[in-house]
């Protein structure tokens, strides 16, 4: 069995999960989640987490490993992800990494050494008077690359990026740029980039589907389990801040849905930009959803020639 690591990247709602199952079946693989929001239990609807049935017997790693009121760092993911890769390779199987969190993927696969795991006491309190968009703009001015791949609602990660800048005197993105060399010898990057207008339509429809599945109720429970701390890390998924705003009576139900759709579309655009700029090794494939299966076949044949 080849020791190649397959990595699947792309925007939300692009079909990464479906492709990962096809590749895992074809190449005796096991999947490793690289989506920061899917690490947590209790927000399965919000993160559109793969179900046991959808896994089709394929083993998955780093899904729902933390409680909804816990925290999880990039350094934690690097350590846990490398353990998973080592275990999969030892069993003569193919590691297949799937996710939309670019920083997680970079930290896992590159020789990314964390210069500091320290924290500045009370650092997050400095920004209590700023809303999420204002905070994101501060990061964007200091470190536009990191800002481009962090959702404005992910207050935890924005503040951590600012804290790293304060601690090290260097941008978080520069820590990654300075470690371009890969940790592993054989990595094959596959990117999915759907037709943009169709992707936006898919995102809008997905939000409505998740609402029908009980998204509002799930977020409310997770919020309560976090003692109504809107800045809890697990609640930075799409739907978290928007629904909490609704629960706090900041706007009505329909506005919350519209905000989720808009913010998800914006996040997808930032994901595409980040992956194309930061993972130039990626082999990109396009589809219009109707020809998704044909694209998957092309990818299978592409991978066969390279592992």
- Binding-site residues for ATP, in ranges, read 10-17
Q: At 68, list the tokens.
A: 């909804």
Exposure string of 193-215, with b = 16+ CB inside 10 Å and e = fewer, is bbeeeebbebbbebbeebbeeeb
Task: For the beta carbon of residue 307, count every other beta carbon within 10 angstroms.
Answer: 15
Token pair recorded at residue 22: 């096809």
- 3-state SS track over the chain: CCCCEEEEECCCCCCHHHHHHHHHHHCCEEEEECCHHHHECCCCCCCCCCCHHHHCCCCEECCCCECCCCCCCHHHHHHHHHHHHHHHHHCCCEEEEECCCHHHHHHHHECCCCCCCCCCCCHHHHHCCCCHHHHHHHHHHHCHHHHHCCCCCCHHHHHHHHHHHHHHCCCHHHHHHCCCCECCCCEEEEEEEECHHHHHHHHHHHHHHHHHHCHHHHHHHHHHHCCCCCCCHHHHCCCHHHHHHHHCCCCCHHHHHHHHHHHHHHHHHHHHHHHHHHCCCCEEEEECCCCHHHHHHHHHHHHHCCC
Binding-site residues, in ranges, read: 10-17
Binding-site members for substrate are 12-17
Angle (CA) 181 97 283, round 5°: 65
């Amino acid at each position: 069995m080849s020791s190649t690591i397959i990595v699947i990247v792309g925007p939300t709602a692009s079909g990464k999960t479906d492709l990962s199952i096809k590749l895992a079946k074809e190449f005796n693989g096991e999947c490793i989640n690289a989506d920061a929001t899917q690490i947590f239990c209790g927000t399965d609807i919000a993160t559109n987490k793969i179900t046991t049935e959808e896994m089709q017997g394929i083993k998955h790693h780093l899904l729902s490993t933390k409680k909804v009121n816990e925290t999880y760092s990039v350094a934690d993911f690097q350590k846990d992800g490398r353990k998973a890769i080592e275990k999969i390779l030892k069993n003569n199987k193919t590691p297949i990494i799937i996710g939309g969190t670019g920083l997680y993927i970079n930290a896992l696969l590159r020789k990314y050494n964390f210069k500091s795991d320290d924290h500045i006491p009370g650092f997050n309190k400095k920004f209590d008077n700023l809303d999420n968009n204002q905070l994101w703009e501060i990061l964007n001015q200091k470190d536009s690359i990191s800002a481009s791949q962090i959702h404005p609602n992910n207050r935890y990660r924005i503040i951590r990026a600012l804290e790293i800048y304060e601690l090290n005197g260097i941008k978080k993105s520069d820590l990654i740029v300075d470690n371009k060399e890969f940790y592993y010898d054989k990595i094959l990057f596959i990117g999915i980039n759907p037709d943009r207008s169709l992707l936006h339509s898919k995102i809008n429809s997905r939000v409505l589907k998740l609402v029908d599945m009980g998204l509002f109720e799930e977020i409310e429970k997770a919020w309560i389990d976090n003692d109504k701390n809107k800045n809890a890390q697990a609640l930075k998924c799409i739907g978290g801040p928007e629904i909490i705003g609704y629960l706090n009576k900041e706007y009505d139900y329909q506005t919350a849905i519209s905000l989720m759709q808009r913010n998800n579309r914006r996040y997808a655009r930032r994901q595409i930009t980040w992956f194309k700029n930061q993972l130039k090794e990626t082999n990109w494939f396009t589809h219009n959803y109707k020809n998704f299966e044909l694209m998957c076949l092309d990818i299978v044949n592409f991978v066969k020639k390279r592992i």
